[in-house]
Structure 1
Amino acid sequence: MCGLLAYLRNPSAAPSAGLVDAVSGATHLMRHRGPDEPGTWADDDADPTVVLGFNRLSIIDIAHSHQPLSWGPPEQPGRYKLVFNGEIYNYLELREVLRSEYGAEFATDGDGEAILAAYHHWGTEALNRLRGMFAFALWDSVDEELFCARDPFGIKPLFMATGGGGTVVGSEKKSLLDLAPVAGVDLDIDERAVQHYTVLQYVPEPETLHRGVRRLESGSYARIRPGQAPAVTRYFVPRFSAVPFVAGAEKSRYDEITAVLEDSVAKHMRADVTVGAFLSGGIDSTAIAALAMRHNPRLITFTTGFEREGFSEIDVAVASAEAIGARHVAKVVSQAEFVAALPEIVWYLDEPVADPALVPLFFIAREARKHVKVVLSGEGADELFGGYTIYREPLSLKAFDYVPGRLRRSLGKASRPLPDGMRGKSLLHRGSLTLEERYYGNARSFSDAQLRAVLPGFRPEWTHTDVTAPLYAESEGWDPVARMQYVDLFTWLRGDILVKADKMTMANSLELRVPFLDPEVFEVASRLPFDQKITRTTTKYALRRALEPIVPAHVLNRAKLGFPVPIRHWLRSGELLDWAHATLASSQTDGLVDKPAVARMLDEHRIGAADHSRRLWTVLIFMLWHAIFVERSVVPQIAEPTYPVQL
């Protein structure tokens, strides 16, 4: 797990003698991603075309595999240079195939050379053979091309920006912003992205809040030649193709799930350092930890919670750790700690994400880094196996499928004058809508009417359908749960879940691995029929059945909580309310946000007249982001990483 940066200069741009130093300085801004070893390479120190920067977190082949990494076939030694963030879990198998079939030679024992040799012999098809998480930039000195790629699910990030001076690619946006004056990148705020963020609680890919900076989307690669904009191609499209269960053969399908998870966890345990696991009170993380125990009987698990009653899963996690025989470490977060860490957390995020759960994740990652260098976690299980409660909605609305469209619309209109909270109002309203209209992922902070109130530049055409309409078109004919899963894979998963997982662990120089988000696990999960994902009483039905021999009984059918955060209570009194008032008063976002409207929301929430907590949090985090990255009025104190090279 590391941080990468690549600068490809436009040949028509003026020579820059200081470009290598500029890239080195920008690389240092993400030193937390790899405090073990920095590295910089340029094709020409005096007048470079390409400069690569790197910060390494040494996990595999610690003594070697230094980056930027050089490799080439015997007839073209050193043809390729690589900067690579992530892990390729089947690198041993790939190296053996490349050695036996092509005579490939390797100077290290790591996974980076496997990427280079695979790309040389298989081209872009190599991406479909990589089993892991990755974002990389590869310079081909013969073809004079920078080839960049990102893993199928978007576990690892990759930002891109092109201007008159050239193209810059990197793991963190802050490094691109630092090089923007050299590259000539447009740093105006993208108001459409601001509106998308406000309604979704995250900025959907490929957008960022700066107009000139974009993200390479999950499952995509880009070819970049000097003086040209990136040419992007999607190589992975997840398909859900249900295969009905044959009567009497259910056990074999459940055994298949168990086997593929066991194999994925085994490969995710490959490391030359200590591997631990995050453990909440849910089935997903417990299953991963239980399977990991088979490879490391001294596994350490980690969880977090808050002082306020009802906002901690520590007791359940402790019971789970005892049941599987793992050592457990817990971190309790106070309101004061929570507030004090916010500027630092938003700086690490690069882009605002209005999910309060990322704050406890930051703290538990910091605690875990004292003990281990790698952790396993359960992200992705809900999207692959049907774990969100909202996925059961098609069952509750099934009766509306038999109601003619015009009548359904009439029922929706009839529900509008009914008092809010009245029994049946929400059912009538949602039943009157199509799936495409009512579902666009696992987050919605604002209705259109509420958006108009807080965004002076609100545009009705900048809606969630910008993001979801193509996804619904691509999933036409699938069952409704599969379509919802497909939407979430491209929205909530990569926009929220994986961003906070990457950023909060990397902030603490900790590598997080997600065994559920494995191509072979997905292939098995994608064939599950509707009734094996959700029922009227549960979610992830097939996964729960498969995990019965593995997961302790007290968590097998426990409701999903994640890391609950008491912001609803804290925004009514104490340090968080004080922070909210101070942030609102000092923010210079007047042209983007209606501050008096937000102040009224805060007052209504404070006195208990309404629950505006998630909407307030969304706006306040944006204001803090703006203060850090635009106004520069808030300068977080970022300490130099002081971790040992190996744990």
Structure 2
Amino acid sequence: MCGFVGIVSANNETLYYQPLREMMNVIAHRGPDDSGIFEGQYARLGFRRLSIVDIEGGHQPMSYLDDRYTIIFNGEIYNAPELREQLIKMGASFQTHSDTEVILAAFHHYGEECLHRFKGMFAFLIWDREEERLFGARDPFGIKPLFYRTLRDGTYVFSSEKKSLFFVEEQAYIDGEAAFHYLTFQYIPEPNTATAQIDKVKPGHSVHWRPESGFSTRCYWKPEFVPKTSFGNKAVHFFTAPFKQKQLQLEKELFLTDIRETLVDSVKRHMRSDVPVGAFLSGGIDSSAIVSIARQFHPNLNTFTAEFEREGYSEGDVAEETARAIDVNHKRVKISVDDVMNEFSKIVWHMDEPVADPAAIPLYFVAREASKHVTVVLSGEGADEIFGGYNIYREPHSLRFFNGLPPFLKPVLRKAAERWLPVGMRGRSFLMRGCSPIEDRFVGNAKIFEDHEKERYLVPGSPTWKTSDITHSLYEETKNYDAVSKMQYIDLHTWLRGDILVKADKMTMAHSLELRVPFLDRDVFDVAAKMPLRGKVKGKQTKVWLRESLADIVPGHVLQRKKLGFPVPIRHWLKDEMYDWAKEWILHSHTDHIFDKKACLELLEDHRVGKLDGSRKIWTILTYMVWHHHYMENHHDSGQEYIHHIG
């Protein structure tokens, strides 16, 4: 549980002018008890850490080989013990038992190839005093964040959280194109952020800086789906059918074994800790699988779930039933609408960026409760993206009828449906989607505003901005994929890293709680990436082979249950209890240069009287306004004083 800030510059005056301690203090929640600073000719590094019983000697910044290397590191390397033994055989010596020192030794002995040996979640920066260079990296899936800001004289400032980067003297500006894409996705796709001068290091990328050559990033790993084989995708001749059916069954059995074994190994590694470990438990298969496996290694496991005080918006009873079946200690966290209004401002502040996924709300409150009992918590993020779990992945099957239509007929039918069938009419959306290429109809798991709708609400704009700007290159990389694998690939490179993992990290770190995600393990992904389509989606069933591989350890009532996610009753709240609250935010927000306030208020009113369900659109606008209030209007407040101020 930690966070860091790093500054590199060829200009010594600029390097030491930056307020490093203030930058560290504003992320004190990531590490409220311990801190450290390294200062050199070209680099300054600051670190915050949660103090625990430290038998490993993990104080940072940590130096290695007579201070040649100095590191700041956020995350966990789960295979550090094995790497340590390998490095000792190569002649490495260690002064501590920490995974931080293992990273330093691995970098010294393997160079940049060390990144392919780490199993874990990480963001780190290493200053090499001898070669006068900075090397860093972000983990393959983007579990841990890494922001950077470019200053005018070539100085670069890095941080675990974007809020630190507002303390430099240069003014930050809104990125209008980022706001355009935000209204589509409900988050801003990486590597961009809401402000023009601040970016994210992409997942699976390394960072390089030298005083004479400047800054660059390189891709060291990218997730790709490469199905081994699928006899089921080929015509089966009458005489060879029995043989091929046996081959199909053998293929399936091998995959079921690999899924089970790699996931068990991953959970076991993720449970390595000298502090209490718990798990989030909802009513779905992903968290239930993690808890069922974790229970084998930790019989007294504590689990946690969130629920709302509104009928139809709670998985609490199912989670309770699952907890009893698995035999774990379970706690339920109830959330009221007043809780949400009281804490929403703080939630947005912790998020760093405008991320309008309502599921952040239950995550924030369940993390707050879990932090009272454990220091590390396991969760099921990533399973849907790599094993094919989202209900939208069933769409190519449901639209299969349209595959037989002549290509020239589809655009004609689509235009006719759009022009002549009223919005909301049964069948209109089905017809329009069926006649649209997947590249046009799927941009990821969330699509809030259509491009043409943004003209009404968004003030800055350009006719050259299009949502396809984000997805076009990704679709180019997946020309040979089946439709479901294309959708997974889009989600892995947008939704997972821009929404799912952002809220997971920020909502847990808000309470100094470390979240670990065993599904996002390279070995687990390598198995899932080779699965044929029939192992992911089959008819109305998703995550087909994942379910089958876990059939004897996950409670039966969970296995065939339809995916619900984290339903949040914002549709009801914005009509009733939250209406005045939302209206006040819109009226008093200093975002007239970004949003058409009149249009926003009309949308809220139309939702209140039932003319339409505008809840997700309203929530997206509100979240941006609250973010703007904190970071563009009041960004000089800091640390615990700031949290108190917005609370």
Residues 1:547 and 2:547 aligned together: no
Residues 1:424 and 2:427 aligned together: yes
User: Which sections of structure 1, spanning at least 5 residues, go unmatched?
Assistant: 643-647
2:473 is aligned to 470
2:270 is aligned to 268
2:111 is aligned to 123
1:31 is aligned to 28
Aligned equivalents of 1:638, 1:55: Cα separation in 2: 14
Task: Kindly provide the amino acid, as one letter, of the partner of residue 68 in structure 2.
Answer: R
Residues 1:205 and 2:190 aligned together: yes
Choose from 39, 45, 50 the match for 2:43.
Answer: 50
Report the alpha carbon displacement of residue 422 of structure 1 after superposing the two structures with TM. Answer: 2.4
Give the share of equivalent positions with the same residue, in percent.
48
2:237 is aligned to none
In the superposition, the TM-score normalised over structure 2's length comes to 0.94
* Change in 2 beyond 3 A, CA 1:634/1:177: closer
SS of residue paired to 1:405: coil
1:40 is aligned to 37
2:605 is aligned to 603
Aligned equivalents of 1:248, 1:205: Cα separation in 2: 40
Aligned equivalents of 2:131, 2:566: Cα separation in 1: 48
SS of residue paired to 1:526: helix
Residues 1:561 and 2:560 aligned together: no
* Change in 2 beyond 3 A, CA 1:491/1:447: same
Contact 1:343 1:636 in 2 (8 A): no
Report the alpha carbon displacement of residue 57 of structure 1 after superposing the two structures with TM. Answer: 2.9
Report the alpha carbon displacement of residue 17 of structure 1 after superposing the two structures with TM. Answer: 5.3
Aligned equivalents of 1:640, 1:596: Cα separation in 2: 31
Report the alpha carbon displacement of residue 373 of structure 1 after superposing the two structures with TM. Answer: 0.1
1:14 is aligned to 13
Aligned equivalents of 2:432, 2:52: Cα separation in 1: 52
Choose from 242, 253, 272 the match for 2:227.
Answer: 242
- Aligned residue pair count: 625
List per-residue Cα deviations over 1:481-500 (Å, max 9, x = no partner).
11111110010000000000
Q: Which deviates the most, 29-38 or 513-522?
A: 29-38
Q: Which deviates the most, 223-232 or 319-328?
A: 223-232
1:152 is aligned to 140
Q: How does 1:211-230 map to 2 (within 5 A)?
A: 211-226=196-211, 229-230=214-215
Report the alpha carbon displacement of residue 424 of structure 1 after superposing the two structures with TM. Answer: 2.1
SS of residue paired to 1:92: helix
Choose from 79, 91, 115 the match for 2:80.
Answer: 91
Q: Which deviates the most, 61-70 or 300-309?
A: 61-70
Contact 1:9 1:227 in 2 (8 A): no
Aligned equivalents of 1:149, 1:16: Cα separation in 2: 21
Aligned equivalents of 2:204, 2:15: Cα separation in 1: 34
1:645 is aligned to none
Task: Kindly provide the amino acid, as one letter, of the partner of residue 156 in structure 2.
Answer: T
Contact 2:122 2:143 in 1 (8 A): yes
Choose from 177, 180, 200 the match for 1:195.
Answer: 180
List per-residue Cα deviations over 1:55-107 (Å, max 9, x = no partner).
113579545111001112xxxx221100000000000111111111x110111
Q: How does 1:217-616 map to 2 (within 5 A)?
A: 217-226=202-211, 229-244=214-229, 246-249=247-250, 250-416=252-418, 417-574=420-577, 576-616=578-618
In the superposition, the TM-score normalised over structure 1's length comes to 0.94
Contact 1:200 1:443 in 2 (8 A): yes
SS of residue paired to 2:444: coil
List per-residue Cα deviations over 1:311-365 (Å, max 9, x = no partner).
1111111111110010001110111110110111111111010001101101100
Q: Which deviates the most, 233-242 or 516-525?
A: 233-242
Aligned equivalents of 1:449, 1:580: Cα separation in 2: 24
Aligned equivalents of 1:495, 1:640: Cα separation in 2: 25
Q: CA RMSD in A?
A: 1.8
Contact 2:348 2:626 in 1 (8 A): yes
List per-residue Cα deviations over 1:607-635 (Å, max 9, x = no partner).
11110000000001100111111122997
* Change in 2 beyond 3 A, CA 1:164/1:640: closer
Aligned equivalents of 1:10, 1:194: Cα separation in 2: 33
2:2 is aligned to 2
Task: Kindly provide the amino acid, as one letter, of the partner of residue 34 in structure 1.
Answer: G
* Change in 2 beyond 3 A, CA 1:503/1:474: same
Contact 1:31 1:641 in 2 (8 A): no
Residues 1:172 and 2:161 aligned together: yes
Aligned equivalents of 2:210, 2:499: Cα separation in 1: 31
Contact 1:69 1:81 in 2 (8 A): yes
Aligned equivalents of 1:140, 1:208: Cα separation in 2: 29
Report the alpha carbon displacement of residue 531 of structure 1 after superposing the two structures with TM. Answer: 1.1
SS of residue paired to 1:148: strand
Report the alpha carbon displacement of residue 637 of structure 1 after superposing the two structures with TM. Answer: 8.9
2:239 is aligned to none
1:69 is aligned to 62
Aligned equivalents of 1:231, 1:475: Cα separation in 2: 26
* Change in 2 beyond 3 A, CA 1:3/1:641: farther
